[in-house]
Structures are given as structure tokens and as C-alpha cells.
Homo-oligomer: A and B are copies of this chain.
Amino acid sequence: MEMKDLHEIAASARSAFYQISVSSADQRNTVLSALARLLTQNKDSIFAANQTDLDAAAAEDLAAPLLHRLTFGEEKLDQVVRGLHALADLPDPLNKTLSATEITEGLKLYRVSSPIGVIGVIFESRPDALIQISSLCIKSGNAVLLKGGREALHTNQVLCDLVSQALEDSGFSASTVQLLETREDVAQMLKEDTLIDLIIPRGSNSFVRYIMDNSRIPVLGHSDGICHVYVDSDADPETACRIVTDSKTQYVSVCNALETLLVHVDIAPVFLPELYRSLTEKNVEIRGDEQTAKIIPCVPATDKDWSSEYLDYILSIKIVSSLNDAIEHINRYGSHHTDCIVTNNSENASVFMNTVDSAGVYWNVSTRFADGFVYGLGAEVGIATGKLHARGPMGLEGLTTYKYKLIGSGQTMEEMKSGKRQYTHIPLQENCPL
């Protein structure tokens, strides 16, 4: 019974995809405007549902950073509504002619952007993520199955009902965006590889690995953010201190927050005491290796610290003897998310940025900038830590694929092989007519 239900949900999403995939940009933008209006009109019921979730979370003694993420009040509403209007104003990501080539006389090849299909997204406790993900999928002509955090269930239900209403008011099927409610639904979803084209799991490494091990559906993993800052021997200590403090403490419970600091041995005696003052002001617990412990007070770090995503006021510190040691540490223990070098030496910056195997490689700037909105992508459906399809913050472009459209007048391969026709391969500056 359970299995049939999820299969039906996925099948209805597939039908909804075929409908929205051939709709106009105007039709899809209408849904976003309608949703912005509905959210504002129904804010009282959203806030009430959120209060129910917050009360339950408080009763379960949820950590403060998690409570903060779960909260959906006036400020979040305002952000979300502004995000919807901004998204509606972005250009249509579909039916863009990405390239055009004359293959031989009278035969034209067009590479044209198109939606992916049905996407399954499993996200954490932030209910505003539901609106962000839904709206990105609608804008890009995809259908989506959503599974949010258990803690946010009441808020998510109200929000998803409003998305359904906005879709139906604009002539689309409510099945375009559907909310899954149980872990069993997720397990069943992973089996529907002929109906679902992509799974985006946002969560821990082990969770992403569980998804990959249990599905044939392609997975774009948004896994741990074990971000590093490396303070080079040529760094300006004041700049380094500012970047490390911001990367660690500006918002601790997000994936682009700093978790491990690597410090060149030559600058450590000068830099670490200064950093210590700044971090203790913010109540950051420091876990240092042996060499760090000789310079500043700290808890001894163990090997486990190098692969931990704390999402809390904790920082691990290791002293390294060279730029290469720092790069090797990052490529070995990091999660290929975002890593930063602080230095005044452009050659060291270049080696770091070209050899560190991460989606974001930064020079003299806080890791907190790794975000789709900050990058100018409008919003993000996740931050991909793999290398295929999309890497880093994944916005509208990551939710599209392309098709090759080839338009001819009866050309055959026999004519090409016999030399009756020649390849011309002329680049064309024109859009696909169909």
C-alpha cells in the first residue's frame, strides 16, 4: 500500500513535469508572484504553525542554533517574498540556444537548455528552504518532491499548501510540488529511478552516502561543509584574524562556516595569541594540535577533529610547516566545499587555488561568502560538493540540462561517407526556431 502510494506520487509528479516543461516563462513567473501574495496574505497561519513547531522543539531541548534555523517570522517572510520577486525577474533559464552549428549544407544543430524532470530534495530544518527550492524548481520547469526536517513539519505543511494553491491558481497541477512526510517515503522514493531524475540530499556525509548506496538515481550531494582557512607565512595577521573570526563565528550552524584553521609555523607565534583574544571574546572553544598548545591554551585535538563539522562555537587548529602541507591536509580531510588562503603572496595564492580540489577556493575573504545569493545566482537549491553537473552553490542553471535539436532535410550518413556531402561545422549566431 505504502509503495503504491509513493509510486503514484512520483507518477503524478512526472505528468506534472511534462506540463510545466513546455510552459512559457510568463506562466511560470505567474506562480512565483501568486505565491509571494499568498504568503503575505496567510502569514498568521504560517507563524502559528511555526510556533507549534518551535514549542515542540523547545520541549525536546533543541540546540539554540537549530531553533534559530527553524524560526519563520516576519524577517524570514520578508526575505522569502523579496526572493520570489527577484527570482521572477531573472531571465528564463529554459529554451536558451547554448550553441548553434551548421553540420553540412541544410543541416543545423542547436544545443538548447531544458528542464531536468522530477527532482527529489531532502532538506534540513529551515522552512524557508521549502519556498526557495520549490520556486527554483518552478522557475526552471521541473517538478519536485520535497522532504523537510521533522522539526518543521507543521510549518512546511502550511507553506506547501500555499505553493499548491499558487500552482493551481496559475493553471498548473498541484502535483508539480509535493511534500513527503515520512522517512519511509524517502526510502520508497529512492527506488523510483524511472520516474525521478535527480536526488539532492542536503545533510551529513553519512546521510548523502546512505542515499547514494540505496538508489540508482543520480545524486548531487550537498554534504558536510568542513571548510578551512590557511594562514600563510606571508599573511597580514590583522586581516587573518578578521577573516578567521568572521568565518568561524558570524553564523556557526551553516555549512560555509570555518571548522579547521591551518597556520604556517613561521607566523603562528605572532598570529595565534592575537586570534586567541578575538575568539575567546566570542566564546569559541579551541582544539589545537601539540604545537598550537605550546602557544595558546587549548583542548588537545584528536584525529577525529580534522574531519568534524562542528556547526558550533568550536575551532580546530593545526600548525603546518609549508603551503604544500596545508594543501595536502585540505585535500585529505576537507569536504571539497570552500577553503581559503590568507596571504600577501600571489604566487602562493595561485598554487593554493589551483591545487586545492574544492568547489570554492578563496584568497583573503571569509568562507561565509559561499552562497548562491551572494554569488549572484538568485538563490540556491543546495551547495554541491561533487564535481559533476553543478559544483558549489547550485541555482537555476544547475536545475537545467540541454538537448541537441538537429534540423535537416533528409540528410543521410551515406552521403557524408561517400563524399557527396562535406562537413562544414560553421558556428551560427541564431536561436533554435523550434
A residues with CB within 8 A of B: 18, 21-22, 101, 103, 107, 109, 116-117, 197-198, 209, 212-213, 216, 218, 220, 236, 239, 242-243, 245-246, 250-251, 346, 349-350, 353-355, 357-366, 368-370, 374-376, 386-389, 391-392, 401-414, 416-417, 423, 425, 434
Contact = CB atoms under 8 A, between A and B. Distances in A.
B406 A365 contact: yes
The 4 closest A-B pairs by CB, nearest first: A365-B408, A246-B412, A368-B413, A389-B389
Contacts of A392: 403-404
B101 A434 contact: no
Given A376-B103, A403-B359, A250 B411 contact: no
Tell me how many chains of this kind the complex includes.
Answer: 2
A285 B387 CA distance: 45
B355 A22 contact: yes
A354 B250 CA distance: 46
Contacts of A414: 246, 250
B354 A22 contact: yes
Question: For the complex, would chain A's binding face be called helix, strand, loop or mixed by DSSP majority?
Answer: mixed
B216 A387 contact: no
A375 B413 contact: no
Contacts of A402: 391
Nearest to A368: B413
Nearest to A373: B423
A407 B364 contact: yes
Q: Which residue of A21, A198, A388, A406 has the most chain B CB atoms within 10 A of its CB atom?
A: A406
